[in-house]
Structure 1
C-alpha cells in the first residue's frame, strides 16, 4: 500500500541524489562495488582457462568438458533468481556481500577438487554467488547515479567486468602453464576479503530504504552522503529540483509481466539471452579450439583469448562515451548488428587458422561486451525501486540460459563433427535475431528512474 509520507520522501530522496555533483564519494563507491564485479568476472572465466589442461589431465570427453563449463552457468542462473528476490528484500549491499562470500569460498573448494564431479559441483556453488552479485551490484550503481550522466557513470563502472575477464586471461597466460590451473582458483578466493569490507564502507541505497518504508534510515543515509560530497567538492550543494515521486509499493514477481512491464520484460529477456548465448558460445570454447582444432600451444591460445577480452574492454569504453548521447536502443541495435556482421564474415570466408579466428573473435567481443555492459545499465532503468533488483535479476536468468545453451550448442556441433563455419554461422544468426528484438526496446536516455516508472 502507498504511504503519503513515503511517497513524498521518495521524491525528495531522488531529487537529492540527482543534484549531487560527481565527487570522491562516487569514486569510492564505484571502486568498492567495482572490485566486487572485477573478481566476479575473474572467477567466471576461470573454467575456460582451465579447460584445455583439465581435458588433457583428466582425459575428458567433449560431453564432460561441456558439463564442467555449464555447471557454473546453471548455478549462475539459480543465483540470479534468488539474488533478485534477496536484493529487493534484504537490501542491495548485503546481497552483494553474501554473493561475493559464496563465490570466494567456492573458488577455494574448486581448487581442491580431485575429479570432474567435484570440480563441477563446486563450480555450481560458485556460480550461485557470481550469478547473484552482478545484476544486484548494477542495480545499486544505477540507483546512486544522476539521470543526465547515468549511462556514462554506470558503463565506466561496468568496464570493471571486462577488465576482470581480461585479467583472468592475462594471469592465466603465466599461471596455468607454470603453477597449474588450481592456482587460478586460489586467486579466485580473494573476494572473501571484499565481502567483509563492503557493508562497512558502502551505504545502502537510499532509494531502496525508502521503498521499504524505512524513511528515517533513508534520510540518515542520504544526509551522510550529502555531507561527504559537500566536503569533497568544497562548496554548498545546489538546491534539489522537484522530481516526480514513485509510489511506495511492495514488489511482486508477477508485476514484471503486467501492463507496460510485460513488453519491457519480454524485450529485455530476449536481449539478455542473445547477448550471452553469443558471448559464451565463443569465449568458453576459444582456448580449446585454438589448442585442439588448430594445434596451437597453450600459451598462444591464452594470449589469443586475452586479445579478445582486451577488445571487449575497448568496446565497453566506447559505448560508455556515446550511450548518453545516442540512446540505449540505437546503441544496442548497432552493437548487435556489428556482432552479426563479424561472425557472419568469419563463417562465410571459411575458418582456416587460429589467427583468423582470433581476429574475428576480437571484433565480435568489441561489440558483444558493449551489449552486455549496456544491458546492465538498461535493465534496472526499466523497473520501480521495489522491483528493480528482481527485474534486473530476471534478465540475468535469461542471460544464464544463454550462457548454458551457447556453449552446449557449440559443443554439440563440434561433438557431432560439425564444421567451425557452422558454429560461427549459427551464432551470427542468433545475433541478427537480437538486433531485431532491440528495435522494440523502450528508450530511457536522460530520464530519472522515477520518471521512467511513474
Structure 2
C-alpha cells in the first residue's frame, strides 16, 4: 500500500512520486487530446472573428453591426469575459476540483459559441462573445492545472508548451476557413460566418466526449481528504500502462505527508502567492506582460501594415496570417523538449530575448524600406517562432512554481493580467500607431513590443525557477504538506 494514515486528517502517500515515474503511454495521449485540443478551437474562433469582421458589417450579413464594433467592442467584451472567467472559475477549480470545472467551462464555451452562431442582433452577438470569453478564461485555469498534475515531471515542459502553442494550429485553420466563409460563390453572406461558429461547436463536442474519460487530479483528491479515490485513479493508470508495456513499473521514490483540508481560504492563497513567493510573482507578471506587448505590436497592425504599405488585398491577408501562425506553432513544437533538457531558466530567457532582438531588427529593416510583404512575413515568422515558445512557457511557469492549493488561481490571475494588458493597451497603443500609415509610427510600435519582451527576458534570466524534471511538490511545497522524503524543497 502506498497510503497510510498516521492520524485522522493526515495522509502519507507516494502518489505524486508514482505519477512522476510513469513512462509516456497511450493514456497520456488521452489526456493531451481531451484537455489540450480545446486551444485549437480557441485559435480557430478568435482568428475567424477577426477575419470575418468586414463581412459581418456588410448589408445582407444578418447583423446590423460595423466592422469596428466587431474588432473593437466585441473583442473587448471577449477579453473582459476571459479575464473575469479566469478569476471566477480559477477559484472554483482550486476549491471543487479540476474535472468538475473543466467539464463545466467547456460546456459554457460551447454553448456561448453555438448561440453566437444564431445571432440576430448586435446585442446578442456582444453578449455571447462575452460569455464565450468567460468560458475560455476558465479553461485556461482548469486545464493547465490538470495537465501539470497528471503529466510526469520529465515531460511536463514540452507537453505544456505544445498544448498552449496548439492555439496556432487553430489559427491556421481559422485563417483558411475564413477565406471560404468570405467567398460568396460558395456560401451566402448570412450563412458562411454562422457555419464557422457551428463547426467549432461540433469539434468541441467531440473533445467533450473524450474529456469524460479524463480523471480528477489525484493530487487534488489527496489534499481534499479523498485519498481512497486518488489511490483508485493512480492504480488504474498504473495497471493500464503495465498492460500496455508488458512489464512492471519501477518502484516510486519518496513520500509526502499531507494535512488534509476541504478548502483553503482566499487570504491564505493571496498571502502565499504575493508575499511568500513574491519573486515568482514578479517573474510571472513580467513574462505575461512581455509576451502580450510583443504579440500586440505585431497582430494589431498585421492587416493594416500589409494593405497600407504593400498593397495586399484585404481578402488575401488570411494567407499571410496562416503562414505566421504556422511559425508560431513550430516554435513550441521544436523547442519544447529543450525546456526539459537544457532547462527552464536558459530557454525562457533566451526565447524572450531572441524574439525581442529579432523584432528590433525587423523594425530597422522596415524603417529602411528593405522589406516586401513576403520578407516582412518571414521576419514575423522568425520573431514569433521564438516568442511563441516563450509565451507558452509563461503559462508553464505560473502553473508549476506555486503551491498545489493555489495553482488554478495563480494561473487565472496571471492569465487575466496578460489578457487585460493585451486587450486594453493593445487597441489603445498599437492599433493607433500601425493604423496611421506612417512608417515611423509602425517602427515605434515594433520597438515598444521588442523592448518590453527583452525586459521580461532579463527578468527571467535572474528569477526563472529551475523546474525541469522536478516534481511539483519539490518546486513548491504544498501548503498542507507536513513532511516529505522527496529531495530538496524550492525556496520562494
Q: Separation in 2 of the partners of 1:14 and 1:379? A: 19
What residue number does 1:329 align with?
345
- Write the mapping of 1:339-418 to structure 2, written as runs, cut at 5 A: 339-350=355-366, 352=369, 353-404=372-423, 405-414=425-434
Match of 1:183 among 163, 181, 195: 195
Deviations 1:254-274 (A, max 9, x none): 134454322212220221122
What residue number does 2:98 align with?
92
Instruction: After superposing the two structures, state which structure 1 stretch, 36-45 or 71-80, moved more.
Output: 36-45
Q: Separation in 2 of the partners of 1:174 and 1:135? A: 33
Deviations 1:181-204 (A, max 9, x none): 333222222255146425531111
What residue number does 2:447 align with?
425
Q: Separation in 2 of the partners of 1:117 and 1:295? A: 34
Question: How big is the shift at 1:275?
Answer: 1.1
| Contact 2:161 2:396 (C-alpha < 8 Å) held by counterparts | yes
Q: Separation in 1 of the partners of 2:467 and 2:73? A: 39
Question: Are 1:443 and 2:459 matched, yes or no?
Answer: no
Q: Secondary structure at the match of 2:277?
A: helix
Question: How big is the shift at 1:162?
Answer: 2.4
What residue number does 1:69 align with?
75
Which structure 2 segments of 5+ residues have no match? 478-492
Aligned length: 452
Match of 1:197 among 180, 198, 209: 209
Higher relative contact order (CA 8 A, sep 6+): 1
Cα RMSD for the two superposed structures? 2.7
| Contact 1:48 1:284 (C-alpha < 8 Å) held by counterparts | no
| Contact 2:301 2:435 (C-alpha < 8 Å) held by counterparts | no
- Residues 1:115 and 1:427: Cα distance change in structure 2 (over 3 Å): farther
- Residues 1:432 and 1:112: Cα distance change in structure 2 (over 3 Å): same
Match of 1:255 among 271, 289, 292: 271
Match of 2:291 among 275, 287, 297: 275
What residue number does 2:107 align with?
101
Match of 1:17 among 19, 31, 37: 19
Q: Secondary structure at the match of 1:443?
A: coil
Deviations 1:335-374 (A, max 9, x none): 1112212221222223554334322222222122101221
Question: How big is the shift at 1:420?
Answer: 1.9
Question: How big is the shift at 1:446?
Answer: 2.4
Q: Separation in 2 of the partners of 1:321 and 1:173? A: 34
Q: Separation in 2 of the partners of 1:260 and 1:332? A: 23
What residue number does 1:228 align with?
240
| Contact 1:106 1:122 (C-alpha < 8 Å) held by counterparts | yes
Larger gyration radius, structure 1 or structure 2: 2
- Residues 1:63 and 1:350: Cα distance change in structure 2 (over 3 Å): farther
Question: Are 1:35 and 2:37 matched, yes or no?
Answer: yes
What residue number does 2:456 align with?
434
Q: Separation in 2 of the partners of 1:149 and 1:61? A: 43
| Contact 1:99 1:132 (C-alpha < 8 Å) held by counterparts | yes
- Residues 1:100 and 1:194: Cα distance change in structure 2 (over 3 Å): farther
| Contact 1:39 1:188 (C-alpha < 8 Å) held by counterparts | yes
Question: How big is the shift at 1:386?
Answer: 1.5
Question: How big is the shift at 1:299?
Answer: 4.3
TM-score normalised according to structure 2 size: 0.84
Task: Name the one with the larger helix percent.
Answer: 1
Q: Separation in 1 of the partners of 2:330 and 2:283? A: 26
Question: How big is the shift at 1:125?
Answer: 1.1
Q: Separation in 1 of the partners of 2:9 and 2:207? A: 31
Question: How big is the shift at 1:55?
Answer: 5.7
| Contact 1:230 1:236 (C-alpha < 8 Å) held by counterparts | yes
- Residues 1:416 and 1:90: Cα distance change in structure 2 (over 3 Å): same
- Residues 1:4 and 1:192: Cα distance change in structure 2 (over 3 Å): farther
Question: Are 1:119 and 2:135 matched, yes or no?
Answer: no
Question: How big is the shift at 1:43?
Answer: 2.4
Q: Separation in 2 of the partners of 1:424 and 1:54? A: 30
Deviations 1:21-80 (A, max 9, x none): 211111122121123232233223332222343466678475763223222111111111
Question: Are 1:152 and 2:155 matched, yes or no?
Answer: no
